Structure 1
Amino acid sequence: MKKILVMAALAICSFANAQKGTILVGGNIGFTSDKTEYQFSEEKTNTFSFSPKVGYQFNDNWTVGGEFTVSSSKDENTVREVKDNGFKVGAFVRYSVPLSQTFSVFADMGAGFQNAKRKVYGSDNSYAKSKADGMYVGITPALFINMKKGFGLNFSIGGLGYETMNVENNGGDNSSFYFNFGKTASIGISKNF
């Protein structure tokens, strides 16, 4: 089945890859909805994220640019409601290797600043909020499929990264390292102008 899909993609999409001196515009949009039922209650979580990026391809293999991510989630159950909002802003460097006129593999290395805000509403009308700031760095390998004239799809299945968050008012410091190849999947679009 995989061979048939690859052959179909090659037959349909035989256009040129991005070249030196072009502008890359791309990004991902994500939405998840999770519902867990317990014996006497249920919990619902909805998460939305938007991650655009813009870069300049100064070489046939190298692109440099800026990236931005905004995310929002809402977690509800019978005891409390939690709203999280976050954003990341930073820069990325991409190294691409064309495999054919249709397929390329690339790796993005991004680093920058991140911020998160949390509001917790209790069933007893209580309210608490917190704010955290930190840094991130990550590497994400991916596959690019050129659909037509530099417009294409990006597929990744995880990455490697490190993040820090410092919660205000002595709320503590948090740092995390992740290696999630095969545990996540991402599909995005991009266009070279």
Structure 2
Amino acid sequence: MKKSLLILALAVFSFANAQKGTVLVLGNVGYYSQKSDVSLGVRPTQNNFNFSPKVGYQYNDNWTVGVESSISNSKQTYTSGEYKSNNFSVGGFLRYSKPIGGIFSAYADLGTGYHNAEQTQYNGGINPYISTIKGTGFYVGVTPALFLNINKGFGLNFNLGSIGYSTLNYSNSGNDTQNFDFSFGQAFSVGISKNF
């Protein structure tokens, strides 16, 4: 069966006023679903969801400091079982923005904080089992983007990737991880913004 891909929502919303003493509220929402013929046992059926809100205080015309969080979950179903992953993070961010033309601005977010992950695998085959591992760690990353002011405070945000480092230390497994991510030119997102 031919795989089907459905992207229900990938929305980035931002409400901001790039002036001293204002509040910035923004976030990302994403959903991904892939249906496969699991009877073949080759490709899983997948569902992924993520939500990442941010709230910040703009203490001058170029700088914003605030808190960020993220929650995501995914589920993959196979003929013999399923795999689930739940992730949560909370931390702080610092943003520097600079006008580069009449309707353009460039900005970069530096974010850091705590995150955890829980992964559960169920196998219902001949010897059924359930395995769960939990991990905690920290992350740090830089995300540059471009803002295009369309009309009356409405605009678009363009992101072409990020650079980051994260760790996860698992309490019941020896598979601790350290990840370095460099995704410039490999990731792309477009968001809608409103300045008040």
Per the TM superposition, whether the score is higher than 0.5 is: yes
Q: Percent identity?
A: 52
- Cα deviation per residue 1:95-126 (whole Å; 9 max; x = unaligned)? 10112343211000000000111111112342
- Gaps of at least 5 residues in structure 2 are 1-16
CA distance 1:65–1:148, shift in 2 (3 Å) = farther
2:51 is aligned to 50
2:186 is aligned to 183
1:107 aligns with 2:76: no
1:81 is aligned to 82
Mapped partners of 1:186, 1:28: distance in 2? 10
Mapped partners of 1:71, 1:100: distance in 2? 36
Mapped partners of 2:155, 2:73: distance in 1? 27
| Aligned length, in residue pairs | 178
1:90 is aligned to 91
1:166 aligns with 2:169: yes
Compute the RMSD of aligned alpha carbons. Answer: 2.3
1:10 is aligned to none
- Gaps of at least 5 residues in structure 1 are 1-16
Mapped partners of 2:38, 2:85: distance in 1? 23
- Cα deviation per residue 1:47-86 (whole Å; 9 max; x = unaligned)? 1111110101111111110001000101111122011110
2:135 is aligned to 132
1:27 is aligned to 27
**Contact (CA 8 Å) 1:27, 1:189: kept in 2 or not?**
no
CA distance 1:24–1:104, shift in 2 (3 Å) = same
Mapped partners of 2:174, 2:45: distance in 1? 26
Give the structure with the higher percent helix.
Answer: 1
Mapped partners of 2:179, 2:170: distance in 1? 14
Greater relative CO (CA pairs within 8 A, separation 6+): 1
Q: What is the deviation of 1:191? A: 4.3
- Aligned AA (2:112): A
